Structure 1
Amino acid sequence: MDFMDIHSLIARRVRELRDGHGLSLEALAERSGVSRSNISLIERARSSPTAAVLDKLATALGVTLASLFEAPAPSAQTPSPLSRAATQAVWTDPESGYVRRTLSPEQPSPLQLVEVHFPAGQRVAYETGARDAEIHQQIWLIEGAMEIGAGDQHWRLEPGDCVTMRLDCPVVYRNPTRKPARYLVALTTLPSSPGRRNT
């Protein structure tokens, strides 16, 4: 997907998810901490939001960040179980330059796969904590090195290392080296537990 395609896709997904939750722009702004004007620009594909902003919106909407890059299947067709490399959504964070490719097919699945290319010397911080949905992820490092902090836990990954975490606290990703890193992210979402925040 080119620049306009991916931003139009994000715009459509944010609008769909907001409408699905019955949230006004003001309500989503209050839940996410992202300004109403910024959300409006994102929904009109007039903004190039950072990874941190998209994560705040995803958290407020009760979905994974990867869900914001899902292409809707044509209404008259059954979603395909095959995802061709040429049609996979590719997005670049304008702040850090990290590139994420959505690998998963359109057909619904409890598992989402994402490939990330992380530039040398860069850092991305997701400040969000508790979520309505219970989201777990595993990160498998393919090339390079990464330092990952989730709450009070910290790891340094080398090629072949894999770490699992629940996304219920702030997470920081950092490439401390002079070479780019590449890793695979596998995410799964479990039903909300009774008593979990649901505002």
Structure 2
Amino acid sequence: MDVTDRLARRLQGLRQAHGLSLDALAARSGVSRSNISLIERGQSSPTATVLDKLSAALGVTLAALFEEPPAATAPPSPLARRADQPLWTDPASGYRRRNLSPALPAPIQLVEVEFPPGQRVAYETGPRLAPVHQQVWVIAGCMQLTVGADTWLLQAGDCLAMQLDQPLLFHNPGDQPARYLVALAGGSLPSNPRGSA
């Protein structure tokens, strides 16, 4: 299954698990009903900003939108082979994110990101139904992160911790791609999507 189909199935499954209609999710997220419908049918390539709004409205992390829906017949695997890790590219900025974590429910999620030089992605993150904590560890290149009113320039080896409860801006001011690891904790666990609704 490609990442667009996975995202479509996962979004629809989470919305239904929360008992939300398309109209209700649109009202809660600020994303239009028609846009949500196109994403759920696999006919739209949403931006990272749109996905952040939807994940916040559903009480999950953005990374959770790319997880394989739980199978009814087999327990989730504790192993995620690289070939099976969903890789998604933001159509607006070209940044690429790979979900590293296995399907087995865990208190943290890991995401690897490659961020093109000169690009920016802004998230309108506000208070969430359940707290989400995030750490960004730069592996190569540099990244400028603005969390609320505070801005940090991170070089390779630097790590920044934050809570996702205020606007967030990712910017690569360099002339080379940046690579970084994101560790997320909190939000509602995929195995219990109603936990924070």
Aligned counterparts, 1:71-110, within 5 A: 71-110=68-107
Residue aligning to 1:58? 55
Residue aligning to 1:174? 171
Distance 1:16 1:137, change over 3 A: same
Q: Which blocks of at least 5 consecutive residues in structure 1 are unaligned?
A: 192-197
**Pick aligned residue for 1:34 from 8, 19, 31:** 31
Q: Deviations over 1:111-143 (max 9, x none)?
A: 100000000000000012111010000000000
Aligned AA for 2:21?
S
TM, length-normalised to structure 2: 0.93
**Pick aligned residue for 2:131 from 121, 131, 134:** 134
Residue aligning to 2:113? 116
Whole-Å Cα distance in 2 between the matches of residues 33 and 105 of structure 1?
A: 30
**Pick aligned residue for 1:163 from 160, 163, 173:** 160
**Pick aligned residue for 1:22 from 19, 22, 40:** 19
Residue aligning to 1:194? none
Residue aligning to 2:183? 186
Displacement over 6 Å in runs of 4+? none
Aligned AA for 1:134?
P
1:43 aligns with 2:36: no
Aligned AA for 1:130?
P
Identical columns (%): 61
1:21 Cα deviation (Å)?
Answer: 1.0
Contact 2:133 2:185 in 1 (8 A): yes
Q: Deviations over 1:88-111 (max 9, x none)?
A: 000000000000000000111001
Whole-Å Cα distance in 2 between the matches of residues 153 and 142 of structure 1?
A: 22
Residue aligning to 2:192? none
> How many residues were matched structurally?
190
TM, length-normalised to structure 1: 0.93
**For the aligned residues, what is the CA RMSD?**
1.3
SS in structure 1 of the partner of residue 109 of structure 2: strand
Contact 2:126 2:166 in 1 (8 A): yes
Residue aligning to 1:150? 147
Aligned AA for 1:66?
A
Of structures 1 and 2, the one scoring higher in RCO (CA 8 A, sep 6+) is 2
Aligned AA for 1:28?
L
Distance 1:187 1:129, change over 3 A: same
